[in-house]
């Protein structure tokens, strides 16, 4: 029986990847994501830094990088400079001629420029032993907060469009088979749950191929352009987590969409019959987008544990901030249970509705098994 499910899945995969639409869409997606990841390298103007100094002369950074813009601000003491660094008003502060105060890890280019300018100043002043600058972080490592939230925002968009695109393919495929009555022939040799499950599995693989290609293109372009240097630690885990949550979210919404689509026989009716699923998916998107900006908000924390919202909110929270491992594990377990339940319910609805052509079938009838 499992062979039938995989046969259907293989048929769906072959049918999709051989189409021009799939190939063109994949190429366009890869080029678009790669271009967006590489854009900062092409469009970015000269770097600019705002630096503080405490009882020391300015270092001539532009000698080593003429294109950068440097603004020096003088502070009366170390405490004032430290406060400005923590408030984000300064990229770094030079104190006593031998220390640099930063909030987290210093930008690689800025650190190199400061060391080079300091070395040049010491040689010009005395020509004796050169003492390198000591880099000292005065606060928590918040350098990656902006990068994390940027990654989370991109993740929201990718997850939403990949899930809704793949789910709509499942729904349209179900209606097409029902409307053309091909399903009646197919169900003479395989069971309804195998047909629906094979379609969900096959189109899920196609969606996973698309998402993997987008991730690879984005990361590859970021590495080439140098943008990857600003990525937060743990990007491998973030990417793997996003793929796992995509699979869970897709499985839930695909089973939901396949079940609802089996209630109608015409593709013009798909939009109306899918409204409950669409509203739930859009609500998940809205909460996850909010979570990308404020991952510690109560609504984000709570809904990241509740299926199916968790399929989009939890990966966004883990990308935007540190999330306790027990919360991730609990969220994943609840989502797996929700997927299993939706697959069972979806197969039941599909089995009872897919052979009933003509007028739209009422959902209550197929759920309860009572005919009008």
- What is the distance between the alpha carbons of residues 131 and 122, in angstroms, rounded to a whole number? 8
At 139 the pLDDT is 63
pLDDT digits (tens, 9 = 90+) for 86-112: 877 888 888 877 888 887 667 777 778
Query: Could you tell me how far CA 204 lies from the centroid of its own chain?
Result: 17
Terminal-to-terminal C-alpha distance of the chain = 33
Nearest to 254 by CA among 187, 177, 174: 174
Spatial contact of 367 and 339, defined as CB atoms under 8 Å apart: no
Question: Where are the chain's structural domains?
Answer: 2-39+144-368, 48-137
pLDDT at 265 over 80: yes
- Cα distances (angstroms) measured from residue 290 to each of 42, 198, 285: 30, 35, 9
Q: What is the distance, to the nearest Å, from the Cα of residue 352 to the centroid of all Cα atoms in its chain?
A: 37
H/E stretch holding 50: strand 48-54
Asked if residue 331 has pLDDT above 70, the reply is: yes
Query: Which residue matches tokens 């630096």?
Result: 51
Question: Would you call 72 helix, strand, or coil by DSSP?
Answer: strand
Q: How confident is the model at residue 77 (pLDDT cuts 50, 70, 90)?
A: confident
In order of 145, 149, 214, 317, the CA distances from 292 in angstroms are 11, 6, 20, 7
Read off the pTM: 0.75
The residue among 358, 353, 312, 310 whose CA lies nearest residue 196 is 353
pLDDT tens digits, residue range 190-228? 888 889 999 999 999 998 998 888 888 888 877 776 666
356 pLDDT more than 60: yes
Paired with 101 in beta bridges are 93, 136
pLDDT at 38: 66
Confidence at 231, pLDDT banded by 50, 70, 90:
confident
Does position 303 have pLDDT exceeding 90, yes or no? Answer: yes
DSSP structure class, residue 95? E
Average pLDDT over residues 235-252: 90
Instruction: Name the CATH architecture for the domain at 48-137.
Output: 3-Layer(aba) Sandwich (3.40)
Q: Crossing angle for the helix pair 310-320 and 275-293, nearest 10 degrees?
A: 10
């Amino acid at each position: 029986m499992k062979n039938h499910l995989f046969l259907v899945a293989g048929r769906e995969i072959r049918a999709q990847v051989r189409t021009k639409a799939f190939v063109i869409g994949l190429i366009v997606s890869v080029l678009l994501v790669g271009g967006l990841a590489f854009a900062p390298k092409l469009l970015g103007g000269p770097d600019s830094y705002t630096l503080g100094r405490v009882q020391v002369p300015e270092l001539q950074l532009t000698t080593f990088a003429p294109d950068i813009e440097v603004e020096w601000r003088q502070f009366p003491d170390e405490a004032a400079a430290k406060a400005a660094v923590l408030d984000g008003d300064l990229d770094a502060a030079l104190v006593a001629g031998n220390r640099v105060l930063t909030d987290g890890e210093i930008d690689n280019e800025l650190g190199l420029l400061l060391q080079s300018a300091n070395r040049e100043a010491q040689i010009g002043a005395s020509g004796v032993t050169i003492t390198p600058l000591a880099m000292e972080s005065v606060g928590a490592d918040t350098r990656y907060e902006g990068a994390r939230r940027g990654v989370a925002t991109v993740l929201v968009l990718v997850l939403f469009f990949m899930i809704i695109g793949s789910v709509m393919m499942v729904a349209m495929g179900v209606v097409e088979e029902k409307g053309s009555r091909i399903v009646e022939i197919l169900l003479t040799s395989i069971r309804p749950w195998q047909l629906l499950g094979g379609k969900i599995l096959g189109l899920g693989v196609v969606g996973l191929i698309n998402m993997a290609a987008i991730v690879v293109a984005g990361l590859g372009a970021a590495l080439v352009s140098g943008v990857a240097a600003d990525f937060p630690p743990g990007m491998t885990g973030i990417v793997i987590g996003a793929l796992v949550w995509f699979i869970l979210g897709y499985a839930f919404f695909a089973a939901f969409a396949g079940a609802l689509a089996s209630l109608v026989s015409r593709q013009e009716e798909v939009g109306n019959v899918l409204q409950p699923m669409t509203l739930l998916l859009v609500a998940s998107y809205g909460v996850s987008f909010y979570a990308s900006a404020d991952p510690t908000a109560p609504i984000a924390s709570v809904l990241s544990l509740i299926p199916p919202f968790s399929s989009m909110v939890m990966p966004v929270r883990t990308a935007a901030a540190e999330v306790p491992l027990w919360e991730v594990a609990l969220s994943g377990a609840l989502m797996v249970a929700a997927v299993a339940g939706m697959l069972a319910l979806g197969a039941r609805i599909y089995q009872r509705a897919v052979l009933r052509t003509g007028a739209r079938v009422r959902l209550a009838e197929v759920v309860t098994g009572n005919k009008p």
